[in-house]
Structure 1
Amino acid sequence: MSKIAFVFPGQGTQFVGMGKDIYENSEIAKKEFDEIFGSLSFDLKDAMFNGPEETLKKTKYTQPAIVAMSLVLEKLVRAKGITPDFVAGHSVGEYAAMGSAGFLTLSEAVKLTSFRGEVMNEIAEQVNGGMAAIIGMESSDIIEALKEVDGVVEAVNFNEPKQTVIAGDKQAIEKACEVLKSKGARRAMPLAVSGPFHSSLMKPAGEKLREEAEKYNFKDAEVTLVANTTADFLTKPEEIKAEIYAQSFGPVKWVDTIKKLKENGVDTIYEIGPGKVLAGLIKKIDKEIKVVNINSVEDVNNL
C-alpha cells in the first residue's frame, strides 16, 4: 500500500513576508501562529512578516521562523484530510518534524528551535569555522579525500548523491576545497553561513541543547520520525532527546532518509514549509517519488 511522508526544510529557505498570506487568509493558521508568537520572548511575527532581511537572517529568528511556518502549514494540510505515515526534516527542519510527529506541541517545538538558534549562534561565534558545498563527487570519495587535510573538516550534509556539504575550521575548509577540486569535484563552494554547523566543533551546542531539552514534556510520537543522524525510526521521548543532542554536531543523512522512506512504502512526499529545496534534492535521490510542494495558502487550497 502506498504511504505518505511529510518533510520539512532547513535554514536558507526563509524570506521576508513568510507566513503572512497564511496568517491573513486562514482562521486555523492565525490561531496557531498567535499561540506560537505568544510563547516567545521576542517578536517573531514582526521579523517574519515585515523583516528587514538582516533581522530575519539572524539564526535566532531564522530557525524558529522556518519551523513556525512549516508547522502551521502542516496543520492546514492535515485539515484537508491528509495525514503522514512518516515525517522527517532537514537539519533545523527536524524540529518541525518533531512537532508534526507529536513529540512536542507546536509552540514547544518552535520555542526549543529558538533556543537552538541562539545556542548555535553563540558557539559559532566562538569557533572560526565555515561550510562548503561539494558538487559532482561521490560522498565516499569526499570522506576519503578529507583524511589528507589537516585540522577539523568533516562531511556533514549528505544532500543528494553528488552534493555533499563539508564543515570545519575555516583554513581546513579552504584546503579541502583545493584538494577535492584536484580529485575531480566539479565545484567546491564556500557557503555564506556563520558557523561549521553539524560538525564536531558544534558539540558544546549539543551539551546545552541536551540540558534544555530536559525542561520539555516530550510525548511518545503519533507518527514515526526518520532521524537525520542515523536515518533510523524514532518514536520514544528518550530517542528524540538523544537525536536533539547528536544532531547539533552530527550529520544530516538526507540521501539515506529518503531511501528509508522509499523502502517503507512511501511513494508521495509533501514538502511543507518555505522554499522548494527538498523537492530538488529528492528528485536527484529518487525520480519515482512524487513530491508535492506546500509553501502558501494557494498550495493548500489546491490540494
Structure 2
Amino acid sequence: MKIAFCYPGQGVQQVGMAEGFVRADEHYADMIAEATKASGVDMNKLLFEPNDDINITEYTQPALVTACCIITDALLIAGYRPEVTAGLSLGEYCSLYVAGAMSFEDAVRLTRIRGKLMSSEVPAGEGTMAAVIGLDAETIGNVIKDIDGCWCANFNCPGQIVITGKKEAVLEAMPKLTKAGAKKVVELNVSGPFHSPLLKGAGEKLAKELENVELSDLKIPYLANVSGAQVTDKSQIKDLLKQQVFSPVKWEQTLYELEKMGVDTIIEVGPGKTIAGFVRKTVPSIRVIGVSTPEDVESLAEKLG
C-alpha cells in the first residue's frame, strides 16, 4: 500500500472543523493557541463559534490550514505516515507541513498574509472566476484566447476547468463557452480573480514574506500546484509558492503523477469530499478515504484493510 495525504483548498471550510480533536486532547488545544498567536486571529472563535468571517479569504485560509494540520497531527500520532503529499491551492501549505518543510506556525502565519494579499490586490467586484463543466482544456483555451483578461485557473479533473480574470472578461467568456459545448458554466462565489496574472503583485509581496521563513529539508516529496510534479529540494519551495498565487493549479496533472508514483490510497485530510470527486474522474483506480473527525481516525485501520 502506498499512501498519499492530500489536502483540499478554499471552499470546504465550515464552523466546527477539527473541534472534536481540540475538545478531546490538550495537544490540539495548544495548536489552536499557537495558531491564534501566529495569525493574530482568535482561532477558537473563528473555528468553533457561529460567524461569517470564516468565509472571508484572509480568515478562511489560516482557519482551514489550522484545522487540517490538527487532523494531520492526529493521523501522525496514530501512526499513519504518507509516502508523498499534495494540496489543492491553499492545501499546498498543509502538504508542506506534513512533509516537514514548513512549521505549523509559519503555515498559519503565511496563509493569513496570503489571504490578505490575494483579497487586496484586485478591488472587490473587479475580478471573478467560473467553473466550466464538460469541455477540454484545448477548446476552452481557443474560446478565451482572444478575450483580454481571461485565463484558465484550475485544471481540476477531466471535464472540469475553472477560468479566472477580470469580471467583464469572464462574463463575456461564459456564454461563448456554453456555445462551444460546455454542459454548464457557473460563476463562483469568490472575492477575486485567483490564480490569474492579475495577482502577480500579491505573489511578489508574498515572496518578500517568504524570505524571512526558514524551511527544513523535505522528509517526503510533495507535488507542487504550479508544475504537478514532485519536489524534493527545499530550495525550490519559495519560488513555487510565489508563482502559485498567480499561476494555474495543475491538479489533474498532480493526480496523474500520484498514480504514476504507485499511490493506491489517498487520505483526504480535512472537511468535504472535493479531492475524492476529482480522483474519481481522473484516476479512479486510487481509493480515497476522508478523515475529518476523531472517529474517522479511529476507523481508518479497518478501512485501510
TM-score by length of 1: 0.96
5+ residue gaps, structure 2, are: 301-305
User: How far 1:160 moved relative to its partner?
Assistant: 0.9
Structure 2 residue aligned with 1:117, among 98, 115, 118?
115
Q: Which residue is equivalent to 1:143? A: 141
Moved over 3 A (4+): none
Q: Aligned equivalents of 2:203 and 2:255: distance in 1? A: 25
Q: Aligned equivalents of 2:120 and 2:213: distance in 1? A: 22
Secondary structure, in 3 states, of the residue corresponding to 2:131?
strand
Q: Deviations over 1:41-86 (max 9, x none)?
A: 221221111131x211111110011111111101111112110111
Structure 2 residue aligned with 1:96, among 81, 94, 97?
94
Secondary structure, in 3 states, of the residue corresponding to 1:75?
helix
5+ residue gaps, structure 1, are: none
Q: Deviations over 1:86-134 (max 9, x none)?
A: 1100010111111111111112111111110111111132681100000
Q: Which residue is equivalent to 1:208? A: 205
Q: Which residue is equivalent to 1:10? A: 9
Q: Aligned equivalents of 1:183 and 1:13: distance in 2? A: 30
User: How far 1:27 moved relative to its partner?
Assistant: 3.4
Structure 1 residue aligned with 2:270, among 267, 273, 276?
273
Q: Which residue is equivalent to 1:259? A: 256
Structure 2 residue aligned with 1:162, among 159, 162, 171?
159
The aligned runs of 1:17-166 (5 Å cut-off) are: 17-52=16-51, 54-125=52-123, 128-149=126-147, 151-166=148-163
Q: Which residue is equivalent to 1:240? A: 237
Contact 2:218 2:232 survives alignment (8 Å): yes
Contact 1:63 1:117 survives alignment (8 Å): yes
Contact 1:158 1:165 survives alignment (8 Å): yes
Secondary structure, in 3 states, of the residue corresponding to 1:7?
strand
Q: Aligned equivalents of 2:248 and 2:298: distance in 1? A: 35
TM-score by length of 2: 0.95
Contact 1:168 1:199 survives alignment (8 Å): yes
Q: Aligned equivalents of 2:267 and 2:13: distance in 1? A: 18
User: How far 1:176 moved relative to its partner?
Assistant: 0.6
Secondary structure, in 3 states, of the residue corresponding to 1:130?
strand
Q: Aligned equivalents of 1:213 and 1:127: distance in 2? A: 28
User: How far 1:297 moved relative to its partner?
Assistant: 1.5
Q: Aligned equivalents of 2:25 and 2:133: distance in 1? A: 40
Q: Aligned equivalents of 1:126 and 1:16: distance in 2? A: 24
Contact 2:125 2:167 survives alignment (8 Å): no
Structure 2 residue aligned with 1:297, among 291, 294, 297?
294
Secondary structure, in 3 states, of the residue corresponding to 2:290?
strand
Equivalent residue pairs, number: 300
User: How far 1:26 moved relative to its partner?
Assistant: 2.8
User: How far 1:281 moved relative to its partner?
Assistant: 1.0
Secondary structure, in 3 states, of the residue corresponding to 1:39?
helix
User: How far 1:301 moved relative to its partner?
Assistant: 1.6
Identity of aligned residues (%): 37
Q: Deviations over 1:239-283 (max 9, x none)?
A: 110111100000111110000011011000000012111111111
